[in-house]
Chain A
Amino acid sequence: MSKIKFIIVIIVITVIITQLCHAQSAIRSPNYKIDWPNVNMGAGLPYSETYKMGVTMGQTAPGLYSSTGYKIRAGFQYIHSIIPFSFSISDISIDFGSLTPGVPVTQTNTLTVSVGGAGGYVVKVSENNPLKSTAGATIPDTICDGGANTCTETTAKPWTSNSAYGFGFNMSGTDIPSDFVDSTYFRQFADRNSDEQPQTIMNGTNVGRNKQATVTYKVNISSLQPAGRYENILSFIAIPTY
């Protein structure tokens, strides 16, 4: 009987220890958290012809390195934070499925930015070209409802008419441009093929974690649109401010 008790105790202890000994993805205390626990590992042996910096231990903490002819600052000196700048996209492909003329289709994507260790950030977006089929036909970038409600890559306007065709996007959530008044306001993507510059879709000036915005992609085709599978590449750029 005592043997059984002993075995049970051993099993319970083993289970508890097993639960405690799992890989850490973060080190926490009430006052701070280190996201990347290997910060105290050596980060290579940086050098130059005339200057030896040595092992850059503790690289993720902002530091000031000075020597004759050099002055280096890594990270933001006034924000004593150790959170890396990070950027997430909820889905790496957009699938509109089969398109029916005059029936708009939408898809969404969530963008998440953490800027604890930076002063602010910008997210920009552009497309390599408008949606294009293998045969070379294109679904044009939307101009929204047209007339007074003509949108561009820099200005959002209402797009509610089912007889207005094209491809565009709406933004909602945190740190988005003010021209996205509501869910009916759309812009077209900046077309790099036409030398258009990537446009800002999120712009935050304050530090913080998990700032989220939703991109709603919308496409609507006319009955004259040639059949085919249309595609393009959307490019999102996240950069901390300086």
Chain B
Amino acid sequence: MKKIITIITFIVIITFKIEQGVARAQSLSLGIWPPLLEVTIQPGKSITQVYKLRNTGETDLAMISKIVPFKPSGKTGDVSFATPGVDAGIHTGSEPQFSFLNADLALGQKFILPAGREQEVVLKIKVPKEAPEADYYFTLLFETLPEVFLPLGSGGQIEAKIGSNILLTVSQTGEPKKQIEIKEFSIRNPQFVIRNLIIIDSFTQPQFIVRLQNTGNSFFKPIGSITTTGWFNQRWVLDLLPENVLVDSIRQIRCQKSTSQPASGQETSAEKPLVLPSPCQLETKFLLGKYTSRLELGLDEASSEYQNQIVFWALPLKLGAGIIVALILLFIVASKIPIKK
């Protein structure tokens, strides 16, 4: 009897301990749609957009919303938030104004998002009549407020922020000046570059670098392709991915890969094939001779307004080196074998 009581007590204690441990590890999970909003709007007008914020975690979350201006950062679409004080020039009084149209929720107001629930907010963007024609970039941020409870020992509390970027072009005509400079069109993986002579190995799949600088007044998407032609009329076309290039920034453009089947871990709406970002790389097995790659693109529409081209040679360098080494070895081995007379 004593044994049984001891065992039961032990099990109860262990279970309690495990429960305690599990209960303390609270996760947090948030989802937002749309991830990006692009707006072209005339001064003096306003638009609305519905955002959906979902708490897919196990805990009710106290949250708050805010609009933060950002600047483009890096070459892959990263953002750098404007620092209050440093970027005070942004707040001139004539910049776009944001508010929520929800009856029970204002922008910047604290709200509770229960576990497993979704919050819809209707964001209103109003552009004053006197707003200068320019691009404005913002992030709509939803952030959790730190939990009331504190860790038992020393430690930290976590707050999570999830955002969605807003690219706003204020333009009277709807056709702001769009202009670029092709900063770089080159081959990432050449074997040798001697002045303008680019040589790759025949077995290498050439990968292109396309970097565009926005020198205009509005963001744009490059629409175009890289067409490579060879001596024997071979032709490969790589379509550029229409990624946004923001004003005063340089962006490295990727290419697109279409697939009718969803890729691993990917789901798509049923109507259209899935387009995946992909490196601008020729899917070739063997190249030989002289090749010309031509970059042609337009801004927000397909055209050949901007062009650049590179010429490269593909030679079986590694194969040739292998054959030479093999011949040398063969010669050495053959010279060591005594010839019988």
A positions within 8 Å CB-CB of B: 29, 31-33, 35-36, 38, 43-44, 46-51, 53, 56, 59-62, 69-99, 107, 109, 112, 114-120, 122, 127, 131, 139, 195, 197-198, 200, 203, 205-210, 217, 219, 229-242
Contact = CB atoms under 8 A, between A and B. Distances in A.
Given A77-B242, A89-B27, A240-B165, A95 B35 contact: no
B118 interface: yes
B27 A94 contact: no
A96 B155 contact: yes
Interface of B is mostly: strand
B161 A237 contact: yes
A79 B120 contact: no
Nearest to B260: A31
Interface stretch (B37-45, B198-206, B322-330, B331-339): B37-45
Interface stretch (B7-15, B54-62, B281-289, B302-310): B54-62
A72 B270 CA distance: 23
Contacts of B146: 233
Interface in B21-57: 24-42, 45-50, 52, 54, 56-57
For the complex of A and B, list the 8 residue pairs with the smallest distance between their C-beta atoms, beginning with the closest: A241-B77, A46-B48, A86-B31, A95-B151, A240-B35, A88-B29, A97-B153, A118-B35
Contacts of B30: 86-88, 238
A232 to B, nearest CB: 5
B134 interface: no
A70 B269 contact: no
A132 to B, nearest CB: 10
Interface string B120-162: 1010101000000000010101011011011111111111111
A237 B268 CA distance: 26
**Counting chain A CB atoms within 10 Å of each CB, which of B26, B160, B164 scores highest?**
B160
B277 interface: yes
16 contacts: A32-B268, A48-B46, A59-B52, A70-B42, A74-B34, A74-B36, A91-B27, A93-B157, A97-B152, A99-B154, A118-B35, A120-B277, A131-B154, A238-B162, A240-B36, A241-B165
Interface string B65-80: 0000000100011111
A117 to B, nearest CB: 6
Contact of B265 (A76, A92, A208): A208
Given A46-B50, A56-B49, A95-B151, 8 more contacts: A31-B262, A38-B118, A71-B41, A79-B274, A86-B54, A89-B158, A231-B150, A238-B162
Contacts of B157: 92-94, 231-234
A91 B86 CA distance: 34
A60 B52 contact: yes
A183 B32 CA distance: 32
B217 interface: no
B264 to A, nearest CB: 8
Given A73-B37, A118-B36, A231-B155, A90 B56 contact: no
A173 B1 CA distance: 51
Nearest to B116: A25
Contact of B277 (A77, A86, A107, A119): A119
B242 A48 contact: no
A85 B34 CA distance: 8
Contacts of A53: 47-48
A200 B154 contact: no
Contacts of B314: none
Contacts of A232: 156-157
B34 A205 contact: no
B160 A241 contact: no
B167 interface: yes
A44 B56 CA distance: 22
A120 B265 CA distance: 15
B281 to A, nearest CB: 14
B73 to A, nearest CB: 9
B93 interface: no
B246 interface: yes
A102 to B, nearest CB: 15
A84 B35 contact: yes
Nearest to B146: A233
